[in-house]
Amino acid sequence: MPATGLGEGKLSPVPWNENIDYLAQPGGFIDSWNGSFITSNTLDAATGEHLGSSHKLLVGRTSCVRVLAFGFLYSE
């Protein structure tokens, strides 16, 4: 099954800012997902904009079922 959306997480030993700078570079990993990298509550501190898309509407090809997907990063 192909992936239709991807969210971010914080499980890497590399410092968070270094990861984000690398992923968010123009033409980089986030851009390669063409709007399917979902970061509903994660903003770029410098610009105040979402790192990726805030949400994505998924529509079934044959059933036309609609699912609105959000990606949240949270800390316990």
Domain tally for the chain? 1
In a domain, 75, yes or no: no
- At 73, is the pLDDT very low, low, confident or very high (cuts 50, 70, 90)? confident
The pLDDT score that the predictor gives to residue 65 is 93
The pLDDT score that the predictor gives to residue 26 is 92
- pLDDT tens for each residue of 15-69: 567 777 888 889 998 899 888 888 888 887 778 888 888 899 989 889 989 999 8
Q: Which domain holds residue 41?
A: 6-69
Neighbouring CB atoms inside 10 A of 43's CB total 12
* 6 has pLDDT over 50: yes
In a domain, 30, yes or no: yes
CA–chain centroid gap for 39, Å, is 4
Q: What is the mean pLDDT of residues 5-22?
A: 65
The pLDDT score that the predictor gives to residue 1 is 44
Residue type at 38 in one-letter notation = I
In a domain, 33, yes or no: yes
Do 23 and 31 touch, CB atoms closer than 8 A? Answer: no
